A and B are shown apart, each in its own frame.
Chain A
Amino acid sequence: MQNTVLRVKSLSKSFSNVKAINNISFTVNQGDIFAFLGPNGAGKTTTLRILLDIIKADDGQIEWNLEGSSNHLPQTSQIGYLPEERGLYLDIPILKSLVYLASIRGMDKTEAKKTALEWLERLDLADRAKEKLQVLSKGNQQKIQFIASILHKPAFAILDEPFSGLDPLNQEIFIEFIKEINKQGTTILLSAHQMQLVEKTANKLLLINKGEELYNGSLSGIYETHGNRQVIELHYKSGLNENSLNSIGEVEKIEIVDNALVKLTFGPNKEMKSILSALSKQEGDFDITSHKPSLHDIFLNLIKSL
């Protein structure tokens, strides 16, 4: 049985009259890559800041149990944090900043310097170790920020929007790094709004919207619970006749994207044979593609179903 390292119960926080998070509960087990998913303003960053005691919750309980020590707050050396609002000393050499940030988390300076240089090497930034951060591109600054958050080899890393500001290539590289440090023993809690990237990274999810929990469980579980449907896309070559769609029958949802694309969602027990049979009677010239709902589709469906 997996060891629970973070247990959050009924967490709530309001700013003035706005409920930022409402009764959120979740648990993170050792070795998890746990993703907070939600649109902007969903309450992800607020939750993470509460976990780190940067702001106080109005209500709820947080229990940490890292490396066998049970506390309200973990030791600083056990936690790594990549804030959403990036910031490092722009006028100080990169290596010096990294060593300082690791040392205030309890890492030995010599070890910090050695590990920082290793990471800089891996991210093709070793030759810029003595340069000031301000001369780096935004993407490279993001890499330095990432190194700063995990340099001291924390037992638990909180990464707030780790993929923002990165190009697709670097997003893929970051996914690999996150998986790698996770394999080396760091439990990850990340927040993001890029569903397709989270699908490739996380094993557990908490979907939230406007501070409310939409789903809490495993990644495979969300597909079983909400993704056991079939999405058929009809790509019309010569215009759509909307009236003909009425004859399709037991379709759960019809989404007319535009005059050339229609998305049909069929229920869990609908067989492909009967779907194709219904579609063969449709007027017009169109191609058919089929796929299971993506996390993005599921998330949108969940929001719409509220």
Chain B
Amino acid sequence: MSYIKQVITVTRWEFGRFFKPKNEAIGILIMLIVSVVFYFGSKYAFSDKSPEIKIFVHNDTNGGLTEVLKNDFDVKQLPSEQKDSFIRKLDVDKNLVLIDKKEDAIGLYAYKNNRDIKKLKNYIDVYHKQKEMQKLGLSAEQLSLVLSSAPIEESYIYTDNSRNRVILAYFFAGLMIMAVFLSFAYQFTAITGEKQLKITEQIVSAISPQVWMDGKILGITLTGISSMITYSFLSIIGGIIFFQFSGLPISAILDYLYLPSIVLYLPFALIGVLIWNAILAAIASIITDPNNSGKSSMMMLPIVFVISSFLVTREPDSGLSIFLSWFPLTSASSMPMRWAITEVGIWQLIGSFMLLVLTFYSLRKIAAKIFRVSILMTGKEPSWTEVYKFMNMK
């Protein structure tokens, strides 16, 4: 039986073990329910159901402050003799607010400082600036000019025009993270479970550790990728529904599905998930008892991958971002992200991708070596020194 045929058999087995359409459908249903609950819940939570504040202004003789506030607030003037009794009433009628214009300050009286008060303070701020500028003798037109933005005529050699590409890059990074973390769970369950059930000896008497490892990496990656594809389609459908309701043409979704971006992101995403699977498989191989192993925490390494994606978006041309876009454990998401945001030469894309492929090739070999030696170590877990020795064995 050829190597390819054996790998395909193991891949199909592993994929069949973990990709359950029924479970996937249940997962999607739960996600939809959670999304709907979250959407309406947040709408309800952030909706302003509290009665609007009633503002009374004292001592606004020229009506300037009332003028600024009247479009967005319920504003009334307060006679001077009622001021003290009004302040006493604040304890009972909690929606009342008093603004007292003084000689050199503005007094603000309310039951408590809340979101409405913060909003109100912004308006008072605007009023204060206008008043100070008027003191300088500026007309309304001059005032408008002072407050307007600088008239800059922009002209660049490189224009990224990348908003849609960045969104797509984020989308792919998100899917990759999902695939890696899903794989983490499956890989961990598959390998430590088989070691504990003592199936591995039976398996490697039939196939080489390399075939077993390759089949497992491919099968579980395929499971993760299948989830990625499922959720991609769902997102596209979600996007179409969103555009339908928002009045935008459905064809607007095609602006985001920019083919050159997909052609670039897809192979990076695929090899990235394979690399992480190879690493996770190697770590899982040396874990004897998942409940008590100190090495279980190593399975959280993919977080590096997540963090790197976000670092690159902040400063895509920094030394760190360039390093992350070449370093094989982070380049799968960082290089496409940089390409979307800044200027990246084609040679960088090809170089980074080649390095990614070579790393995967080596990591799967190392993973098989570690597995081969640690397979029968059911009682004692190998130390890191021993693992290093395994990696160098012929």
Q: How many A-B residue pairs have CB under 8 A?
A: 60
Establish whether residues A77 and B198, one from each chain, have CB atoms under 8 Å apart when the complex forms.
no
Question: Does B199 sit at the interface, judged by CB under 8 A?
Answer: yes
B248 adjacent to chain A (CB < 8 Å): no
Asked if residues A83 and B202 are in contact (CB atoms below 8 Å), the reply is yes
B110 within 8 A of A: no
Interface stretch among B5-13, B329-337, B382-390?
Answer: B5-13
- What separation, in Å, do the CA atoms of A76 and B1 have in the docked complex? 8
Q: Which residues of B contact A76 (CB under 8 A)?
A: 1, 6, 206-207
Contact with A along B178-214 (1 / 0, CB 8 A): 0000000000000000100111111111110000000
B199 x A89 contact (CB < 8 A) = yes
Query: Contacts of B205 on A, CB cut-off 8 Å?
Result: 52, 54, 79, 81, 83
Q: B320 at interface (Cβ–Cβ under 8 A)?
A: no
A99-107, A188-196, A205-213: which lies at the interface: A99-107
- The answer, yes or no, to whether A271 is at the interface (CB within 8 Å) is no
Residue B76, interface by CB 8 Å: no
Set A85, A88, A89, A103: member contacting B9, Cβ < 8 A? A103
Q: State which of A49, A101, A105 has its C-beta within 8 Å of the C-beta of B1.
A: A105
**Docked-complex contact B201 and A85, CB < 8 angstroms:** yes
Which chain A residues lie closer than 8 Å to B9 at the CB level?
A: 100, 103-104
Q: Given A81-B202, A87-B198, A89-B199, A106–B1 Cβ distance below 8 Å?
A: yes
Residues of B within 8 A of A105 (CB): 1, 206
Please encode chain A, from 168 to 185, with 1 for each CB lying within 8 Å of some chain B CB and 0 for all others: 000000000000000000
In the bound complex, residues from chain A placing their C-beta under 8 Å from that of B203 are 101, 104
**Within 8 Å CB of B375, what residues of A?**
54
Chain B residues near A104 (CB-CB < 8 A): 1, 6, 9-10, 13, 203, 206-207
A122 within 8 A of B: no
Q: Taking the nearest CB of chain A, how far is it from the CB of B8, in angstroms? A: 10
B17 CB–A CB distance under 8 Å: yes
A86 CB–B CB distance under 8 Å = yes
Flag whether A55 is at the interface (Cβ < 8 A).
yes
Closest to B198 in A: A87
* Contact assessment for B376 and A54 in the assembled complex, using a CB-CB cutoff below 8 Å: yes
Are B201 and A88 interface neighbours, CB within 8 A? no
- Chain A residues, CB < 8 A from B13: 100, 104
Given the interface contacts A92-B17, A105-B206, does A87 sit within 8 Å of B10 by beta carbon? no
| Distance, CA A79 to CA B13, complexed state (A) | 21
Most buried by B among A83, A101, A104, A148: A104
Q: Write out the residue numbers on chain B whose beta carbons fall within 8 Å of the beta carbon of A55.
A: 376
Q: Does A90 contact B (CB under 8 A)?
A: yes
Beta-carbon nearest neighbor of A77 in chain B:
B1
A75 part of interface (Cβ distance < 8 Å): yes
In the bound complex, how far is the Cα of B198 from the Cα of A89, in angstroms?
Answer: 9
Task: Write the nearest CB–CB distance from B332 to chain A, whole angstroms.
Answer: 31
Instruction: Mark interface residues in A65-95 (1 if CB within 8 Å of B CB, else 0).
Output: 0000000000111010101011111101000
Give chain A residues whose Cβ lies under 8 Å from the Cβ of B201.
49, 54, 83, 85, 87
Give complex CA distance A278, B205 in Å. 58
On whether the beta carbons of A88 and B1 are closer than 8 Å, the reply is no
Residues of A within 8 A of B1 (CB): 75-77, 104-106
Q: In the complex, what residues of B have CB within 8 A of residue A49's CB?
A: 201, 376
What's the Cα separation between A105 and B17 when bound, in Å?
A: 19
Residues of chain B in range 1-24 having any CB-CB distance to chain A below 8 Å: 1, 6, 9-10, 13, 17
B-chain residues with CB within 8 Å of residue A103 when the two chains form the complex: 9
Name which of B9, B194, B201, B375 has the most chain A CB atoms within 10 A of its CB. B201
- Contact between A83 and B206 (Cβ–Cβ < 8 Å)? no
Given known contacts A77-B1, A100-B13, A54 and B199 CB-to-CB distance under 8 angstroms:
no
In the assembled complex, the CB of A275 is this many whole angstroms from the nearest CB of chain B, namely: 51
Q: Give chain A nearest CB distance to B285 CB in angstroms.
A: 15
Nearest Cβ on chain A to B40's Cβ, whole angstroms = 38
Distance A52 CA – B205 CA, assembled complex (angstroms): 6
Interfacial residues of chain A within 41-57, with CB under 8 A of chain B in the complex: 49, 52, 54-55
Give 13 CB contacts A-B under 8 Å.
A54-B375, A54-B376, A83-B201, A85-B378, A87-B199, A87-B200, A89-B197, A92-B17, A101-B203, A104-B1, A104-B9, A104-B10, A105-B1
B contacts, CB < 8 Å to A: 1, 6, 9-10, 13, 17, 194, 197-207, 375-376, 378
Excluding A81-B202, A87-B201, 20 further A-B contacts by CB distance (< 8 Å) are A49-B201, A76-B1, A77-B1, A79-B206, A83-B201, A85-B201, A86-B198, A87-B200, A88-B197, A88-B199, A89-B199, A92-B17, A100-B13, A101-B202, A101-B203, A101-B206, A104-B10, A104-B13, A104-B203, A148-B202
Please provide the 3 A-B residue pairs with the shortest distance between their CB atoms, ordered closest to farther: A87-B198, A106-B1, A81-B205
